[in-house]
Amino acid sequence: MTVGLDARLRDVVGAKTAAALDKGLGLETVGDLLSHYPFRYAQRGEQTDLGSLQLGEEVTIFAQVRAAVQKSMRPRPGKRSGSYLEVVVADEAGRTLTLTYFNQPWRVKELVPGRWGLFAGKVAQFRGRLQLNSPQSRMLSDGAADSAEAVEEFAGALIPVYPATADLPTWNIGKCVQTALDRLETPADPLPAAIRSRQRLMDYATALHQIHRPESFESLGAAKKRLKWQEALVMQAALVRRKAEAAVEPATPRPTGGAILEAFDAALPFELTAGQRRVGEEIAAELAGTRPPVSHHHPNQSELCPPMHRLLQGDVGSGKTLVALRAMLQVVAHGGQAAILAPTEVLAGQHHRSIVEMLGELAHGGELGAPLEATRVELLTGSATAAQRRSTLEAVKSGEAGIVVGTHALLYDGVDFADLGLVVVDEQHRFGVEQRDALRSKAERPPHTLVMTATPIPRTVAMTVYGDLETSRLTELPAGRSPIDTHVVPYTDQRWMNRTWTRVREEVAAGRQAYVVCPRVGGDDNEDTGADDRRPPLAVTDTIEQLRTGPLHGLRLGLLHGRLDADEKDRVMRAYAAGDIDVLVATTVIEVGVNVPNATAMVILDAERFGISQLHQLRGRVGRGSHPGLCLLVSEAAEGTASRERLDAVASTTDGFALAELDLEQRREGDVLGAAQSGTKSHVKLLSLLRDVDIIEAARADAVELITADPRLRQEPAFAALVDDLAADRGEYLEKG
């Protein structure tokens, strides 16, 4: 009996195997299983690189048995003596690996020198050498008698190797896939026929068979191209449709200029950069509604305009907050309110302080002596007292508060605006689309939306992750920003470490301040303590005590991390900003938005445990004033390792966009798109944001054409179902970039 893609796996492979597939890999249906693509294809005699294995890594290797020797174990008191089988396998380049099987003497009959096999297990170490202990194995016969069976089971020369678990080796998954393929009824092809023909794409059913059981490298390439196109087109259609739907509901235009904006600009003590002027003009025009109207069927169309949906990306210190503030003032000047949503209370508090500071007397609307054009700037966070919350909510509801800064607390019921005209979302990758929409829903008419990120985004990621937004980019640094020197410091070299802490003391002695950053908080045995034989990551709670009694003895140290209550976080940040703390020992809670111009030095401990973009963001906290910045990346990573190369790259440039491209090269696609590859479902399995630029761009153009001609995709029901499925999930790729 044939089955469809939506059939439950228990009806195809049995209840026990289906339960294992669900538990280990999150696969529930035939479609889920057939979308669990091989991550590589082994070939008999291929040069499998046994020299690149990493300790603690779960691997499946394809290798040839060179030797198998049965050995006796030394008897221990009260224990029967046992045996173990020591097997040496090699790839074609001659690199070897030892496999050890304990008390399994029968395996010597199958592990015959000369035979090739698949071996799956966790890389361990014994006496300084890497090995696999009791790996699961599948031997491939080279005998003529069963070569036909081997060809059928392993698709000839190309052997699919699947992402697997300890309980589900790749060959068991392969058997399940084969069973599903044998029973699969021909599925409807979801790709529109015109696109399939124009792009010369394989049909869907053939692609599924060829991705799992390729007849040749050519057919495998054609299958991958077809399935990548499907992923790209579904994703782009979802984004294009979302963008089109957002533009249909008109917003209230907010004309350019206005008293409070003009007063603010007149008081600025510096010139805007060319980039700030250019992006400011783009935003001002969209807020004013000078673009052509979206629809001619809405009443009072002349009084309405399409809502702005713009991504403002700029490297660390490029002046995004100033650009956003000028947009907020344009809205406030014409009767509206602006809300800025920040991911943490520390960042929300920082934004509130910096906006009040930049506005000066213009932030004291309603107070005696304030200019007539002034407004109020309110802060709303989850830790606000009942009295504070009540006062803020009244100011927001009445419209007295023209600018409201807050965390997720802004999204709660009971937070009502008089006329919410602009939503600014800072560090968008920390929020989901639902959260962005929850704030926008508090407006009577759709508000304009400005999304900001200090994380530089490669072009294909911007097109894919933020494809429902127009994009502006700030690349210049404002005048007055100082250079930052970055160096990698070997943690095991005491001479270097002594010099590191001496440099911090020198900065403090010169009247400046420093940060020390650690990967974790500490004081909790349940925290991640590292993998295998790696020591636990350094913790701020331990580090501050070691520094206080050791190399930074006598300096004023402060502690900041996410577990402190909001009042304590605010107290510490205020004290640091006021210069009452010399060195702030913190976690990545300071990663974005924290602005203390007097801070000039940063020491990042266990730097290899941070990503490239995160290191760049952290580094951006120094050099924000008139003195040069210094960032020291302290690491145990050895020369020549991937971790050390990553740190060297960060040290070599302060160009965030160049580092973003490197980050994309080194990260898995699922990480970039926000879907972990540990078995959780993802709509993107094959598409590479780095290598498939042409497919993504072509799919974008086709998606625009499709949605323009048929906004609800009524002519393509199978394709519409995939787009609807992605839209229903809101796609993890939309939520985190």
* Mean pLDDT value of segment 22-40: 92
What is the predicted pLDDT for the residue at 432?
A: 60
536-570 burial: b if 16+ Cβ within 10 Å, else e: ebbbbbebbeebbeeebeebbbbbbbeebebeebb
What is the predicted pLDDT for the residue at 369?
A: 87
Q: Decide if pLDDT at 227 tops 90.
A: yes
Per-residue model confidence as pLDDT tens digits over 243-264: 888 777 788 999 998 999 999 9
Q: Decide if pLDDT at 302 tops 80.
A: no
Which residues contact residue 111 at a Cβ distance below 8 angstroms, ignoring those fewer than 6 apart?
65, 68, 85, 87, 117, 137, 139
Element (H, E) at 212: helix 204-212
Tell me: do 461 and 496 sit in the same domain.
no
Tell me: do 120 and 28 sit in the same domain.
no
Pairwise CA distance, residues 537 & 641, whole Å: 19
Six-digit token pair at 256?
Answer: 């350019």
Would residue 18 count as lying in a domain? Answer: yes
What is the predicted pLDDT for the residue at 81?
A: 67
Pairing of β 129-133 and β 116-126: antiparallel
Burial class (CB in 10 A: 0-12, 13-18, 19+), 504: buried
What secondary structure letter does DSSP report for 385? -
Would residue 465 count as lying in a domain? Answer: yes
pLDDT-derived band of residue 642, with 50, 70 and 90 as boundaries? confident
The CATH number linked to 63 is 2.40.50.140
Six-digit token pair at 686?
Answer: 């094959």
Would residue 70 count as lying in a domain? Answer: yes
Please give, one letter per residue, the 3-state secondary structure of 297-350. CCCCHHHCECCCEEEEEECCCCCHHHHHHHHHHHHHHCCCEEEEECCCHHHHHH
Q: Does residue 244 contact residue 711 with C-beta atoms inside 8 Å?
A: yes
Tell me: do 311 and 413 sit in the same domain.
yes
CA distances from 502 to 405, 487, 496, 507, 601 (A): 39, 15, 10, 9, 11
Report CA torsion sign: 310, 315, 318, 321. positive
Mean pLDDT of the chain, nearest integer: 84
Which residues are paired to 341 by β-bridges?
A: 406, 425
The CATH number linked to 607 is 3.40.50.300
Q: Does residue 338 contact residue 331 with C-beta atoms inside 8 Å?
A: yes
pLDDT-derived band of residue 136, with 50, 70 and 90 as boundaries? confident
* Mean pLDDT value of segment 141-149: 45
Percent of the chain with pLDDT over 90: 48
Tell me: do 33 and 88 sit in the same domain.
no
What is the predicted pLDDT for the residue at 479?
A: 67
Least confident range from 581-595, 652-666, 684-698: namely: 652-666
What is the predicted pLDDT for the residue at 154?
A: 41
Would residue 243 count as lying in a domain? Answer: no
pLDDT-derived band of residue 653, with 50, 70 and 90 as boundaries? confident
Pairwise CA distance, residues 4 & 30, whole Å: 7
Q: Decide if pLDDT at 145 tops 60.
A: no
Amino acid at 223: A
Q: Domain boundary residue among 474, 506, 532?
A: 474
More confidently predicted of 58 and 383: 383
Q: Measure the CA dihedral 352/355/361/364, to 10°.
A: -40
Tell me: do 560 and 604 sit in the same domain.
yes
Phi, psi of 312 (to 5 degrees): -110, 105
* Mean pLDDT value of segment 135-155: 54
What secondary structure letter does DSSP report for 520? B
What is the predicted pLDDT for the residue at 670?
A: 45
pLDDT-derived band of residue 592, with 50, 70 and 90 as boundaries? low
Would residue 694 count as lying in a domain? Answer: no
* Locus of tokens 């696109």: 195
Tell me: do 404 and 531 sit in the same domain.
no
What is the predicted pLDDT for the residue at 606?
A: 95
Q: Domain boundary residue among 625, 653, 681?
A: 653
Which residues contact residue 213 at a Cβ distance below 8 angstroms, ignoring those fewer than 6 apart?
155, 160, 178, 181
Least confident range from 362-371, 496-505, 531-540, 605-614: namely: 531-540
Element (H, E) at 504: helix 494-509
Pairwise CA distance, residues 167 & 23, whole Å: 10
* Mean pLDDT value of segment 575-589: 94
Q: Decide if pLDDT at 729 tops 60.
A: yes
Q: Decide if pLDDT at 708 tops 60.
A: yes
DSSP 593-662: S---TTEEEEEETTGGGS-HHHHHHHHTTSS-SSSPEEEEEEE-PPTTSHHHHHHHHHHH---HHHHHHH
Q: Decide if pLDDT at 682 tops 70.
A: no
Tell me: do 4 and 21 sit in the same domain.
yes
Phi, psi of 403 (to 5 degrees): -125, 130
Q: Decide if pLDDT at 150 tops 90.
A: no
Strand order in the sheet with 448-453: 376-380, 401-406, 337-341, 420-426, 448-453, 309-314, 470-474
Q: Decide if pLDDT at 37 tops 80.
A: yes
Least confident range from 125-129, 238-242, 387-391, 643-647: namely: 125-129
What is the predicted pLDDT for the residue at 141?
A: 63
Identify which of 538, 575, 542, 533 has the alpha carbon closest to the alpha carbon of residue 558.
575
More confidently predicted of 502 and 530: 502
What is the predicted pLDDT for the residue at 593?
A: 64
Tell me: do 590 and 490 sit in the same domain.
yes
Q: Decide if pLDDT at 477 tops 80.
A: no
Least confident range from 374-388, 637-651, 712-726: namely: 637-651
Pairing of β 484-490 and β 629-635: parallel
Per-residue model confidence as pLDDT tens digits over 435-446: 767 887 888 888
Tell me: do 411 and 283 sit in the same domain.
yes
Q: Domain boundary residue among 430, 445, 474?
A: 474
Per-residue model confidence as pLDDT tens digits over 493-504: 999 999 999 999
Pairwise CA distance, residues 409 & 399, whole Å: 18
Burial class (CB in 10 A: 0-12, 13-18, 19+), 724: middle
**Domain hosting residue 380, numbered range:** 250-294+302-474
More confidently predicted of 346 and 282: 282
What is the predicted pLDDT for the residue at 129?
A: 85
Amino acid at 724: D
Six-digit token pair at 372?
Answer: 């007539």
Tell me: do 470 and 499 sit in the same domain.
no
Amino acid at 340: I
CA distances from 730 to 182, 242, 244, 551, 596 (A): 33, 10, 16, 49, 37
With vertex at residue 595, the alpha carbon angle to CA 589 and CA 601, rounded to the nearest 5 degrees, is: 80
What is the predicted pLDDT for the residue at 122?
A: 83
Which residues contact residue 627 at a Cβ distance below 8 angstroms, ignoring those fewer than 6 apart?
482, 512, 600
What is the predicted pLDDT for the residue at 476?
A: 76
Secondary structure of residue 423 in the 3-state scheme: strand
pLDDT-derived band of residue 144, with 50, 70 and 90 as boundaries? very low
CA distances from 666 to 375, 544, 591, 642 (A): 46, 32, 21, 9
Would residue 190 count as lying in a domain? Answer: no
Would residue 439 count as lying in a domain? Answer: yes
Tell me: do 464 and 519 sit in the same domain.
no
Six-digit token pair at 120?
Answer: 């799956």
Least confident range from 8-12, 54-58, 502-506: namely: 54-58
Q: Decide if pLDDT at 80 tops 80.
A: no
Q: Decide if pLDDT at 734 tops 70.
A: no
Q: Decide if pLDDT at 291 tops 80.
A: no
Q: Measure the CA dihedral 54/60/64/69, to 10°.
A: 70
Per-residue model confidence as pLDDT tens digits over 538-567: 999 999 999 999 999 999 999 999 888 888
What is the predicted pLDDT for the residue at 245?
A: 81
pLDDT-derived band of residue 675, with 50, 70 and 90 as boundaries? very low
Tell me: do 406 and 506 sit in the same domain.
no
Which residues contact residue 266 at a Cβ distance below 8 angstroms, ignoring those fewer than 6 apart?
none
Phi, psi of 308 (to 5 degrees): -70, 135
pLDDT-derived band of residue 603, with 50, 70 and 90 as boundaries? very high
Q: Does residue 408 contact residue 436 with C-beta atoms inside 8 Å?
A: no
* Domain total of the chain: 4
Would residue 66 count as lying in a domain? Answer: yes
What is the predicted pLDDT for the residue at 318?
A: 77
Secondary structure of residue 171 in the 3-state scheme: helix
Count of alpha carbons within 13 Å of 582, Cβ hemisphere only? 18
Per-residue model confidence as pLDDT tens digits over 265-288: 999 988 898 999 999 999 999 999
Q: Decide if pLDDT at 339 tops 90.
A: yes
